Structures are given as C-alpha cells and as structure tokens.
Structure 1
Amino acid sequence: MKKRTPRRTPKKRSIIVPLLLTACLFLLLLGGLFALNSINKLSDEIADKFAGKRWAVPATIYARPLELYPGLELSPNMLEKELELAAYRKESPIHSAGGYNRKGSIINLVTRDFTFPSGLEKSTAIRVTFKGKTVADIRTTTGANVPTVRLDPAPIGSIHPLVHEDRVILKSEEIPQLLRDSLISVEDQDFYSHHGLSPLGIARAMLANIKAGRMIQGGSTLTQQLVKNFFLTSERTLTRKLQEAVMAVILETRYSKDEILTAYINEVFLGQDGARAIHGFGLASQFYFRRELQDLSVAQIATLVGMVKGPSYYDPRRHHDNCLARREVVLKLMLSEKRINEEAYTKALAEPLTDVTPPKNGLNRFPAFVELVKRQLKTEYREEDLKTEGLKILTTLDPQVQWKMEDQIKNTMASLKKRAGGDSLQLAMIITGREDGEIQALVGDVNPTEAGFNRALDALRPIGSLVKPAVYLTALSQGYTLATPLTDTPVSVKSGGKQWQPENYDRKQHGTVALYRALAKSYNLATVNLGLEIGLENVISTIANLGYTEPLEPYPSLLLGAPNMTPLQVSEIYQTIASGGFHVPLRSIQSVIGQNGQLLTRYGLEVEQRFSPELMFVLHHALERVFTEGTASGHHLAGKNLYAGKTGTSNDLRDSWFAGFSDTHMAVTWIGRDDNKPTGLSGSSGALVVWGKVMDAISSQPLEMVEPEGISWARIDTETLESVSFPATNTTLLPFVTGTEPQSAWSPPKVDMDIIEEKARSLWDSINDMLQ
C-alpha cells in the first residue's frame, strides 16, 4: 500500500515578504520625502539668513573729532595722547593711514578716511609744528599751508548685541588677494574644486593624524567652517556634523565661491577683547596691528591666517612664541605655494610679530559718558537697530577735558578722603560748554573708568544751597535789586504739621544785609525770609524755567535745597544760568550716521530765551561775588574774575556740591557717600576743591560777561545800603536793571549859569583893562 504524502499548507511567508517589501519601500519613500523636506527647510533657512542681513553690527560711539589749526592751544604731548586713543600707531617712516611719528616739536601723521555728516574726508598726510603748547604751523608733505584739518575721531564705545560680537564688514574688493590665497593654502587647498565637502581634504587629514598618532588636522572645508560658525553650534555630535555637511553642499549650490569666501573672512573668530569677541579679518587687523586690512604686511597677514587654527593659543600678545612659530609655518606654506617669493619670505621672517603696543582699552574707556549716550539714543532709536545696524554715533566728548578732569579728581580726592576719614567718598562731575550745552566730560564714580552705578545720572541727592540762585533770580524778576535790604533773622514756619526753624551754617544771625551779600554768603535765614515774601510757587516756576522738569511741592524747605536732584539735572539748571538766561538742552550726541555713510540724525543747537539778559547779568555779578567775598572766597584764584558759581551743602554735611562756570565751561561737582552718612565736607571744603582744580586745568580765560544795554551801575554804602556818589572804604559798585538803581541821598548844588557868565565877563574886562 502506497504511503500518502501529507498535503502542505501555503507558507505565510509568501504573503509577509511582499508586505515587508512594500513597507520598506514606503518607509524609504517616506524617509526620502522627509529628508527632502528637511533639505528644503535647511535651504530656506540658509537663504533667509545668508541672503539678508548676515551680521548684527553694533553701533560705534566716537569722541568729538579734533580740529587742528594754527593758534590752537594744544601741546604735542596732548596730540600724541589723542592719536593713541584713536588707535594711531607710532612708526618711522609712516607706511599708511593711521601712522604717526614725532621729532621734538614736530608731529607727522596720516589721517584716515572718515565719513562725517558733511561727507567723506579723505586721508591726508600732514606735518604739525608746535611752539610751546600751541599749534604754530600745519603743512602737507609738499610744503603747502593747511589752514585747518579734521582728524578722524577716536572710537570710545559700542552698543553690542547680547553675544558681544564685533566686526568690520568688508566688501569683496576690499580683501587683499594675498589674504585670499594664503587662507586657502592653509585652511582649504581644494576650495575652488570641491562642492562643500572635500574627500581629498578628509583623506589628507586622516593620513596626517595617523602619522602623528593624534588629531592635528581637521578635514572641514572653509564652507563647512562657515556653516558651523554662521548657522550651527560647536557641539560635537554626529547629527550636527551631518547637518553641517548637508548645509555646506546647499550653500555651495546657491552661492558663488567669492561670496562664500568673503563671508568666511568677515565671520571667522580671531580673538577676544574683554567681553568683546573679535570677528573677521577686518576688525582683527585693526585690533592687533592698528591698520586697515589693505595695509598689512606679508608677515601680518601670515599672523592672522595662522591664528584661525586657535585664536587664544596663538594670540600674539599673550602667547608670543606660539604665534611666532605658527606664523613661520604659514610663511613656509605661502612660499611653497608660490604665494610669495624668497625675498618677501626672508623679510617677513625677520619682521617683529607686532610693531604696536596693545590699545589701552579705548573702547568703552569712558563708561559714564557712554552710558549717557546710550540712554539718549534709546529715546529715538530702537535698541535692536542700535545693536545691529552698524550706526556711527558722533558725540560731544572732548578727551582732553575728560583726561584733565580725571587727573585732578585723582590728585584731590586722595587728600579729601583723608580729611573725611575713610575711602568711602564718592564723586560725580559733569562739564559742558558754557554756551552750547555740549557735554564735554563726565564721570559717575571716584574711579572714572569704573563701570556700574552712574552717580552723575542716577544719584538723587538734596542739592542744598545750589537752589538759592533760583530764589534770588525770582526776587530780581519781581523788582528786587542787589542792594535791596534783607532780614537775616530767625524764622519759624509750620510745615508738615511741625514747626520748621532753619539756621545759618555759622549758627549766627546777621541782621539787615544787602541781597547780593546774602546770596554770596549763602545766608539761610535771609533766603527763607525772601522766599516767603516772593512766594514759593514763583520760585518753583523759576526752577522749571531754568530747566528742571520734575514736579516740586511748595514746602518752605525747598528754599534751602531739600529737593533731590541728580548732577545731570543740576547741570540743566546751571546751564541756563551760565548761558545768560538761554535754555540750552544738554547734548551728548552731535549726529548719527548710517552704515553706508548717510546722515540719519543731526542734533543741532536748540536755544530758547527764558530770562532777560539784564536780570541774568545782575545775577552773574552776584555769583561772581561768591568767589570774591562769599563761600568760595577760599579758592586760591578767588578775586581774579575767573569764575562764578555757588556752593551747596545738605544737612549734617552729607552732600558737598559746587556748580559754576568760567568764560568757556560750566561744571557741576557732587561729593558724598552711597550710604548717605556725613562726609564732614561742606560745599566749599569738598566739591569746590575738586571743581576749582579741574576748572583751573581746563580754563585760562577770565570770565567776561557781555553787558546788555539796559544796565546801570551805582555805588552803595555796604553798611547803610544807601546810595553814595564817591568811592570810599565801605562802598561797592553794583549793576542794576536801568530804572531800579537807587538814587543818591546827596546831590551837588544847582549852578546858575547866568551868574557864572556874568562873572566870567567881568573877569575878562578886568584883564583887558590891565593890558591897556
């Protein structure tokens, strides 16, 4: 019997396999679509960023430009200091723009191109000859006379985005060919033949690493490095590396080699300047060599190219030997690739690594002033624009005035700290042009280069007797005169539910005193009595017209300076006083220029007359007497008609103030402690000391007040306050608004001209008789 073979059931695999194949195809298609979609997204991301605004370029803040002309009071030392601040380099001979040298009283220099609001001023080679501390002569290298020349201003600050990157953007045509060739030789020899990735470069790197037994080379192309720096992070993961490769290929397909290389040269990181990251060869050439990129030598180009491998490790200032060895490697490669010849190679090897000293932190060197500029800019410009649009901010800062102020603060505050018994004294000071309101110098800390709390802008402190000129100006506007008698006697006023009983600083009463003397001597009792007579609301109105914009309450203590103000707010008030009653808003900015050189904003002089010239002339005379016979009479130049101003002291000697002006400048000084404890210094023993030293250093012309037509002069007896006709020991000559001057109690007898004529005729007849 034949054995039956069991019937086989169909295998399930015959169904599963097609299903698996279908699923795989689906997954591959889905993955392909996903990859394609991702690539498209990456492509769009690259196009959006690379084709648009590629970099956030911070605004640069500049000092005022220095104008040179024969007759200018300027020493060769001070000009040299300004050139150093502007990152000029000392060299002989001068190789290019931004170089200078000095031979005794002669300074040769080549200015840089700079775009001012009036347009581009081209580089100029000049020779400046000095006679003592004065510019005697300016000539070109051909010997032609130069009546005036404006130097490119010194950069003193910047407004950075959060990443604190900084760069100088270069156009393709501004990049030297030697830099292009050398960079490609060192970093990516196949740059012009690959499409973003270089298999040959990877192979060469692997072979070199195997031979060395360690990682000494990378296989990344310049395009990959650009993608990593420009689009990605520095994390070392396979995903990021793959993304970098894909994006490099996309970048190569969409943009030319020249565009990619130019972007790389502008993007690459080349060092650190404090919190500021140095990006791009344009800024690096200025930072390390104080030269434009086009002016670099072969050795200097080799130095920067070599630093790409490791900017910190090859920093020429911190790691000289490392940088020198790396430069030699680059120079050998430049020679072997025939980028340079043997002569250039030998010369470059012998060249010092750097021929300039490191800059003395010129950028943000004046933090208090730069902070004021930033605040004023933010009232008109978006913060994003200030951090990204590469604006040029031309300011009013005068480095010479700033330096002199800083030197005197350093010299005087040490002795004041000893007198006050500690190192906790703080200081703020502001100096402006007397007539134009331009802020020429500002410090917000006893250590001027210290950034942080800016007391010039933010320290709200009682102003003490600095308010008194406003009280006396109010009285003058109501018909009072400098000779009006005031009562310096006790006064008691109910204020805030309590009796307010002020006292004089010397705890004495002075009876009846002339108005000018009460102001010069800063008598509190006379001031309060006067202020109550003329009305607190009227005094508040005067303070507002002088430039104070905050509301004030009509408390009697206002008359002795109870309101809290910042030094900047006080400066606004005293600027109007110093300028003769013309309100001139304080300015720290002259103009704003766009990245392409177009003028965006010009901050012109705004003037509004708020008080008559006659009233201000009379007030100025009284403030001059603060120096001749008042609270500032202890100043070593008192009585020489150089200054006018007012001391201020708050309760318990907590705040020491002085505000005043010379013929050319107005300045406000505050000294105190951050914890508001007593300093032991009055306005005259503290702030005036610093103020006087600074003003002596920056002002040399006597104070000359232009007398308006409506002024009459009269002499009074300083004891009786009555008008007198002839000079005597106890008399003084005062100015008055015409029509308000006092009349003399004595007048000469009237003369009968008929009698005189008759006597003269009789005398003549007698003489004729004698001669006959």
Structure 2
Amino acid sequence: MPQKNNHRRRFRLPRPASWRGLFVKLAIAGLVPLLVFFAYCDAKVRGAFDPQRYDQPAKVYARPLVLASGAVLTSYELEEELRNLGYRQLRLVNEPGSYLRQGDTFTIYLRPFDFADGHRKAKKITVEMAATTVRVVRNALGERIAEEQLDPTVIGGVYPGRHEDRLMLSLDEVPEMLVETLLQVEDRHFYSHFGLSPRSIARALIVNIKAGRTVQGGSTLTQQLVKNTLLTNERSLWRKFKEAAMSLLTELHYSKDRILEAYINEVYLGQEGNRAIHGFGLAARHYFNRPLQELDLAQVSMLVGLVKGPSYYDPWRHPQRATSRRNTVLAELAEEGWLNAEQLEAWKKEPLSLSKSSALAGVYPAYVDLVRRQLSRDYARQDLQKKGLRIFTPFDPLLQRRAEAATAKALSQLAERKKDLQVAMVVTAVDSGDVVAVIGGRQPRYAGFNRALDALRPIGSLAKPAVYLTALNQPDKYTLLTKLRDEPLSVPNADGTLWRPSNYGRKAHGMVPLHKALSHSYNLATANLGLDLGLSDVMDMFQRLGVHRPLLEVPSMLLGAAELAPIEVAAMYQTIAADGRYTPLRTIYAVSDARGKPLARYPQQPKQVIDAAPVHLLQYAMLETVREGTGKSVYRVLPKDYRVAGKTGTSNDTRDSWFAGFAGDYLAVVWMGLDNNASTGLTGASGALRVWRQFMAEASTEQMPFAQRSNMEYLWVDAESGLRTQSWCENARYVPFIKGSEPQQSGGCAPDGEKMWNWFKGIFD
C-alpha cells in the first residue's frame, strides 16, 4: 500500500508577469464602477445651474397707489404706504426707493417698474397734500402733472409643488458689497480652489477641535450649491463623496462667476408659511421689502449671516440671535480691514429694520387663492408655476388692513361668548366691481380653508332684497307703500311636511307697508309677498342679480335657505349697489410676462340687468334698514349723517350672522359663524354688523349717492295711509315713486301755521 504524502503543498508566489495581470484586472474592475459613478455625477451636474432650469412662479401684485390731484388720501396714509413699500426717509433724496417728508409735502424718488401698460423709469416727484386729499403732484422740474403711481407690492404667487420661490438676478445686478461679504464669510478662496478647499477643511477642523464642538464648516460655496441643489440632507460619507465629485465636475463645466450667480439665486434663506425663500434677491424683499441693491451694510450682513442657519437665526422669531450673527459677520469684515473700530461699533448699533412684524405680515392667502382660481380658467398650472408671469390685481393693502383690524376688534368683543367664532369678509369697489380685500378666517394671514370662497352657508334675510326687488320691478302693482300681509301661513313641502315660517319675535304685525316689511325684516310679510309673486320670478331675480349657483325653487328660499359663499353674496349685492348694473367681480386686470410684455387685459363690461328705478326704491328701503330697522346699530360707530345702505341676515337657530351693505365707494359682505355649524347666539346685527360698521367707519370716504332721478318723483306721503300729505304733517315721509305709480289722493292734514313755521325754520337752521 503506497504511503500517503502528508506534507502540505508550498504556496508559490506568482511571477512578476502574473502580478501585472492581476493589478490590471483589479484596476479595470475598480475603474468601471468609478467611471459609471462619475458619468452619473456628470449627468446630474450638466445643466443643473442653467437659469432656464429654475421655476419662476407667477407673482401677484397689489394695486399701485395712484397719486393725482383730488385723490382721497391723508399724509399719514401716504407715508404708511411708502414705508410698507420699503422706501427710506433720507435728508437727501438722491436714489430710488427714498423719500423726504417736510410737513405735508413729500419728495419721492420712485423706483423703476414694469407696469401692465409699460415701463416706468426711476424718477423724482413732489406730492403736496391737503387735509384728506392730494393737492398737487409735480415732476422733478416743478411742473404740475396729472398723476403718478407708486410701485405695487407683491402679495403672493402661484408656486410649484416644492413651494420654492426666488427672484432671479444676474451677477451684474448683485451689489459688490454682497459678493465681497459673502465670499469673506463663506469662502475666502472661492476664486482659487477647484471646488474643494483643503485649507478651509483644515482650518475648520482646528477651530472645531479647539471649541470641542462643530462651530465652523469647511465646505466651499460650490459644495454648498451642489448639496442644496442636487443632493439630500442625509449625513453619510457616501453623500460627502458624491458632493466632492459633483463639486469638481461643477467647476469643470461652469465658470466661477456662473457658480457664484447660481449660489446667490439658490441658497435657502428662510420660510414664509409653506413657501421657501431662496436667493438673496427674494430674501431682500422678504425681510426688508427692498431691492437687494438698496440694502445697507448691516442688512447685507444679516442676510449673509442667515446662510449658516435660516431657522436658527430667523430674525422674527430670534431677533437676538440674528443680531448677534449679523455682528459676527461685521466683525469678520473689520478683521480684514474693511471697517475701522468706530465704524464697526456704529454698524453694530443699527436695528434689524425688518419691514414687517412677522414672516406672514405681508401674506394675503385668501385673496391670492381667489386670483389663482380665476387664473386657472385662462392659464395652464405649469405656465403659472414656471414662466414668471406678473399678475396685476386691484387688491388694496390699506383696505385689507382695515378689514383685518375691524374683524379682530369684533372677535375680541365677542370672545367671551364664542372663542372659536369664525369670520369671512369680501370688499368690492362699487364703481368697478373690483374685489379689493378678502378675509378667509379669523387668522387672515394663514392659508387654509377659505371661508370667503368655500363656506356655503344659509344666507337668511340677505335673500329678501331679491324678493322685494321682484315686486318693485312691477310698479303698476307695488310701491314702497304697498300694504303686505304680515300674517301666518302654511305651505306644504314636497315631502308632505308643512312650511310654517315665523317672525324673529314670534309676532305677526298685520298689514304693513312694503318698505317697513323689508327694513324690519318681517319674515311673514316676505313669505306672503314671494308666494304672491311666484317662486320662479324670484329665482329669476337671484340669477339676474348675479347668483349663478342653481337654487331650489322652494318656499324656504324666500327667507334665505339658499346656501351661498360670501363671494357669491357680494356679487349679488354689487349689482344692487351699482344701480342694477351687473359686473362680474374682478380680481385681475392685466397679465404680463416676466419681462413686462403685456399678455392679457381684463376690462369690465357692466350690463344693465335691472332697470335703475326699482333698484333705487330698494336702496331707499335699505337706507331705512340702517336708519330705523334691524341695522340701526350701524350708527353707533358711523356718523349720524353718513348715508349707507345695508341688510342684516340671520339663519335658523342663529347659526349664521350676516351683514351686507354699501356706501358710495365700497361694498362689504361679512359672515360670522362656527365651522361645526352650531348656534352662535348672534343675529346679523349683534355679530357681522360689528365688523361691517367698524370697517366702513375707517375705510369709506364717500357716502352713498342718492340723487333724484328723472323718471322718478319724490312725494311727501302719510306713512300709515299712503296718501299724499305735507312735510309738516304727522307721519309724513318723503318717499320716491316711479312716475305713474305715485298716489293721486291727498290726506286730511290741514296747514298748521306753527308746524309750517317750524318746518321752514328747520330748513334754514
């Protein structure tokens, strides 16, 4: 039997030629995935920083404030507008965005702006103010000019899914002061490295070791740009490796200036609700409401300081942190010899000078929501999110602030009764149908459920003017003095039940004149009248007034069972306020592209849908509503001689409180209620009317016109009998009639010498 060989085979080293082959194979095996990795990184980097890549959301602008002789405006309001636009008061007005007030005379250096009708160059004007109006406007040569307008402010936009926003700038538009400060603080060797800076990494490592924590980073601007644009926030060596590779490739494909420009437009610098603020151009507007070119050194230093941590150094939430970080940036500039010790201390004492009280102070989501919906009819969402369209609206920030103040005051007064009470409000300009202010809830600066547009609630007695106008449109049958039956009634419903309305006070009043039935909001008189007229005719009147939502043709609609949103009620009452002229409510009057080229205009085309004469009679009854009827608490705030018209509305079980009314300049509709549809315990007079009267007292400057019309005749009549009488007689009322419908018979009031004398004396007094 052969003996086993128990010794182990010796391991032989490969020959040199074999070593070379092995290394080649290993090199190839490692090089292929490396090449694939770099190819992947290269594909990601190419085109990543081209300007066309960035979404440019449509910007929504408020109305420009027009300065013209005779325009209603106080010196306080003009200065408030200038401050809200970020204009600085300087002793020497020598640059755009500055002004000087001397008493009631303003010298203003207007910024350049691309309006809907063309470009306006920067120019200097002088505005001389009277007590409550603009007296005269002059150009730089002192010559009188017809008018000029301030640049409008951005109130919102239509953002892409990422909710990012930026204001694109070329490097030539960026102030040298910002560039130098940014490079000094974030990347001193930007123009000498190739995307990675070993020197910066080593310096940061030493500083962090000394501090015992991470206080300084070693990333270059290129690395920051790559990380923010192409990578996630994951913390791993693999992500850092990709960042390094992409940074090198970015430097290969783009010039230093192009990388710096991309960084300036891309860097994240704050948050406004769910809207991310990217780039220094938009950040300057966001924090200071000024173009980047108008910022001073302290403001630029604050923005550069935010790069380190926009949330941590948020100047609204953490002003001390923001100030400390800004001063650190200023100190670094002083270390480089840009500032001496005296200058440094002076700049450190500067306040933050933020343009508003919070990040959301200049945000108007309810109004922008309405604009967005109207835009969607004419523009694709992708165009609105990416093409930088400029949307010009009639939105008035001054009126919006007054509306918000009025709602806040009313809600605070009612807080003990209902803490979670909600409110919605729509304000329009009577002469144009322009929507000038919108409130969507008790927190108007926060986006969410927009009650002004989407809260469908029973409108209660706000429906009654449509019933009475249907009657007054038949002057051969109805006048303001026609007697109506305010008596109980019972009407079968389709389901076999009975509809039995009642008055608010559970009391019937018998035969009452039409004007009193409306001004005192008698349900029984209204229901009897509506049934006499016919439901189909009343429903037709709703449509003519501007209510396009289909309404059920049932008796309860006569008393406001119709569920409408405040914006729909505003459309209806706008037609009444405009003497029967229907005009679709407008929130956009022009659209231009990113370069200012006009794309579309939205002119108003009013249509007379109801003769002005019966509307005039309805307005008379609505004037009486606030003088003598359910809305008379209006004059607890408004001057007694200020003419306004309105109507209260209350739904069943006081779930909804409404008031709609108008002066000569503005119409406002207010709703109050609870989101869970529970009872508020508030009538239209005790709830919504509080907001309306406070707003009108502060916003309206033109009372309702009520001139006698050519086809109408005003007569003194006895309020009870409806017969002609004399002004000095008991129960005399001066009432309008459409010619041909006036009473022919006179009452029995004989001339009374003393009463006549008192009447004439009252006229001349």
TM-score, structure 2 normalization: 0.85
Displacement of 1:646: 1.8
- Aligned CA distance change for structure 1 residues 18 and 597 (closer, same or farther; 3 Å): same
> Aligned with 2:49: secondary structure?
helix
CA positional deviation for 1:643: 1.5
Change (3 A) 1:252 1:657: same
Question: How far apart in 1 are the matches of 2:91 and 2:424?
Answer: 41
SS where residue 630 of structure 1 aligns? coil
Rounded Cα–Cα distance in structure 2 between residues aligned with 1:201 and 1:641 = 71
**Is 1:657 paired with 2:662?**
no
Question: What residue in structure 2 maps to residue 547 of structure 1?
Answer: 546
Q: Which residue does the alignment assign to 2:244?
A: 245
- Aligned twin of 1:392: 390
AA partner of residue 278 (structure 2) = H
Q: Residue type of the partner of 2:71?
A: L
Letter in 2 for 1:511: G
Structure 2 match to 1:667 = 668
Partner of 1:318: 320
Q: CA deviation at 1:334?
A: 4.1
Deviations 1:695-754 (A, max 9, x none): 23222433224555433445544333356699743444433333444444799xxxxxxx
Structure 2 residue 455 is the aligned partner of structure 1 residue 435: no
Following superposition of structure 1 onto structure 2, how do residues 259-278 of structure 1 map, counting pairs within 5 Å?
Answer: 259-272=258-271, 276-278=275-277
Could you say which residue in structure 2 is the equivalent of 1:736? 737
Checking the alignment, whether the CA contact within 8 Å between 1:713 and 1:735 is kept in structure 2 is yes
CA distance in 2, matches of 1:708, 1:347: 71
Q: Which sits farther off after the overlay, 463-472 or 184-193?
A: 184-193
The answer to whether the aligner puts 1:463 opposite 2:459 as a matched pair is: yes
Query: Which one-letter code corresponds to 1:651 in the other structure?
Result: N
**Whole-angstrom distance in 2 between the partners of 1:305 and 1:629:** 62
Aligned to 1:87: 86
Partners in 2 of 1:486 and 1:318 — Cα distance? 69
Change (3 A) 1:212 1:712: closer
Superposition pairs of residues 293-332 of structure 1, within 5 angstroms? 293-298=292-297, 300-301=299-300, 304-305=303-304, 307-311=306-310, 317-319=319-321, 322-332=324-334
* Contact 2:298 2:350 (C-alpha < 8 Å) held by counterparts: no
Question: Residues 671-691 of structure 1: CA distance to partner in whole angstroms, max 9, x if unpaired?
Answer: 333333333333233333432
The aligned residue for residue 71 of structure 1 is 70
Amino acid at match of 2:73: L
Deviation of 1:571 after TM superposition, in Å, equals 0.9
> Are the aligned partners of 2:418 and 2:680 in contact in 1 as well (CA < 8 Å)?
no
1:570 aligns with 2:566: no
2:681 aligns with: 680
The residue aligned with 1:134 is 133
User: What letter is aligned with 1:326?
Assistant: T
Going from structure 1 to structure 2, the CA distance change for 1:424 and 1:286 (only over 3 Å counts) comes to closer
- Corresponding residue SS for 2:687: helix
Residue 408 of structure 1 is matched in structure 2 by 406
Letter in 2 for 1:434: V
Higher mean displacement: 106-115 or 569-578: 106-115
User: How many Å separate the matches in 1 of 2:678 and 2:273?
Assistant: 35
Task: Write out aligned runs for 1:2-401 (5 A).
Answer: 25-26=24-25, 28-29=27-28, 31-51=30-50, 53-93=52-92, 96-139=95-138, 143-199=142-198, 201-202=200-201, 218-272=217-271, 276-298=275-297, 300-301=299-300, 304-305=303-304, 307-311=306-310, 317-319=319-321, 322-332=324-334, 334-335=336-337, 340=338, 347=343, 350-352=346-348, 354-355=350-351, 357-358=353-354, 359-361=356-358, 363-401=361-399
Question: Offset at 1:649?
Answer: 1.9
CA contact (8 A) 2:366 2:450 kept: yes
Q: Which runs of 5+ in 2 are unaligned?
A: 749-765
Structure 1 distance, partners of 2:729, 2:291, is: 71
- The code of the aligned residue for 2:703 comes to P
Q: Which amino acid aligns with 1:374?
A: R
Per the TM alignment, residue 155 of structure 1 is displaced from its structure 2 partner at its CA by: 2.8
Amino acid at match of 2:247: A
Alignment check: 8 A CA contact 1:155 1:363 kept: no
What is residue 481 of structure 1 aligned with on the other side? 478
Q: Is 1:445–2:454 an aligned residue pair?
A: no
Q: How does 1:622-701 map to 2 (within 5 A)?
A: 622-636=621-635, 640=641, 642-701=643-702
| Identity %, equivalent residues | 42
Pair 464,91 (structure 1): closer, same or farther in 2 beyond 3 Å = same
Does the 8 Å CA contact 1:458/1:566 hold for their aligned counterparts?
yes
589-598 or 86-95, larger mean C-alpha shift: 86-95
Cα displacement (A) at 1:493: 0.8
Task: Name whichever of 152-161 and 550-559 sits farther off.
Answer: 152-161
Change (3 A) 1:58 1:189: same
| Letter paired with 1:53 | Q
Cα deviation 1:49-84 (Å, max 9, x = unaligned): 323633334443332111123333322222232233
CA RMSD of aligned residues (A): 3.7
The Cα of 1:208 is off from its aligned counterpart by: 6.4
Residue 470 of structure 1 and its aligned partner are, at CA, apart by 0.8
1:503 match: 502
Residue 622 of structure 2 aligns to a residue in which SS? Answer: helix
The 3 A distance-change label for structure 1 pair 364 and 158 is farther
AA aligned to 1:397 is F
Structure 2 residue aligned with 1:525: 524
3-state SS, counterpart of residue 153 of structure 1: coil
Of residues 449-458 and 612-621 in structure 1, the stretch that sits farther from structure 2 once superposed is: 449-458
Distance 1:324 1:221, change over 3 A: closer
Aligned residues: 733
Partner of 1:592: 591
Q: Secondary structure at the match of 1:71?
A: coil
For the residues of structure 2 that align with 1:424 and 1:192, how far apart are their CA atoms? Answer: 58
